Amino acid sequence: MKKTSTRLADGRELVYYDLRDDTVRDAVDRRPLERTVTTSEIRQDPLLGDSVAIASHRQGRTYHPPANECPLCPSQGERLSEIPDSSYDVVVFENRFPSLAGDSGRCEVVCFTSDHNASFAELTEEQVGLVLDAWTDRTSELSHLPSVDQVFCFENRGAEIGVTLGHPHGQIYAYPFTTPRTALMLRSLATHKEATGGENLFDAVLERELAGERVVLEGEHWVAFVPYAAHWPYEVHLYPKRRVPDLLGLDEAARTEFPQLYLELLRRFDRIFGEGEPPTPYIAAWHQAPFGTLDEFDGVSRDDFALHLELFTIRRTSGKLKFLAGSESGMNVFINDVPPERAAERLREVASS
């Protein structure tokens, strides 16, 4: 992998990740852009204790542009985009309309390929390996920023999810705090560790799932399963078998095997609802240990956390979506219409091409 860092016309950082070491990236952003001005602010809810990002400047962000005006395609001639060069393998840049900025963290866009009409599932294993390298490098770089406590790499796929740019891409949020979902996991880790005399909860969950009926895919270094208490109709968790706290902890063997298993999983997701159905909308979310202090979680260290990816769709059956209505949105109590065992069975029986 070759990494080349540059700056866009308004001062935002852009990083090329290339498969070839001899690739030269010297294109200049020719757009007449002014410095980006953001109004991002973090406010804490006094009753719930969680944090909310207030970012009114995002109202003006790019919304469903035609393909020939996509800001994530490479620049061609006088059609200038966010990527100055005329081609790229993988590129990461600071979001022009970030939810988090400055002392409130940072948001980045990850473009998986220059092919506007592709999807992550259509990438080669070599391309996915490069994306994994980019996620890992960005996790390392962002973790050193003084305003960053936790790094979250994710992909939203599909208009049903709320994606406003059709180009295959993901995002990275670097939060200035430990996110509520991660804090819940850390509290459960601490409680279980104390109650069992030191047993790791992630290890216990993984051991139970490996022995059960909800495993979807298994390799030498990774396993994918539908969790016992899945929140979503089709939800799969992908774990490395050797517990590591973050992407930086993966060894070469796990990094090599990941593209094969992840591509197979995404291709099966596209076949859940049968031939002729539109692509399955999904969210793919990496869960990594925070980089800040864990003092509030008694007896838990970063090494107790288990890196994993959670992949889920909001489609519950053909032509029908799972909406977060009263119970889910009002009380955060999910109701799942698809038994996890049936979801795992369905994901095992669909063959990818």
- Is the pLDDT reported for residue 144 higher than 70? yes
Which candidate, 29, 284, 289, places its Cα nearest to that of 169? 284
What is the maximum span of the chain, computed from C-alpha positions, in angstroms? 65
**Please, are residues 91 and 15 in contact by the beta-carbon 8 Å criterion?**
yes
- Is the pLDDT reported for residue 234 higher than 90? yes
Tell me if residue 169 is catalytic: yes
Give tens-digit pLDDT for 315-336.
999 999 999 999 999 999 999 9
What does the pLDDT average to over 19-23? Answer: 97
What pLDDT does residue 122 have? Answer: 97
**Catalytic one of 57, 64, 167, 169:** 169
A 10 A CB-CB count for 98 gives 26
- Is the pLDDT reported for residue 352 higher than 60? no
What does the pLDDT average to over 206-225? Answer: 98
| CA distance linking residue 217 with residue 344, whole number of Å | 10
What pLDDT does residue 135 have? Answer: 98
What pLDDT does residue 34 have? Answer: 84
Contacts of 252 (CB under 8 A, 6+ apart): none
- Is the pLDDT reported for residue 229 higher than 80? yes
What does the pLDDT average to over 215-231? Answer: 98
Q: What is the DSSP string of 167-222?
A: SSEEEEEEESS--HHHHHHHHHHHHHHHHTTS--HHHHHHHHHHTSS-EEEE-SSE
Q: What is the DSSP string of 14-51?
A: EEEEESSTT--------S-PPPP----EEEE-TTT--E
What pLDDT does residue 90 have? Answer: 98
User: 346: helix, coil or strand?
Assistant: helix
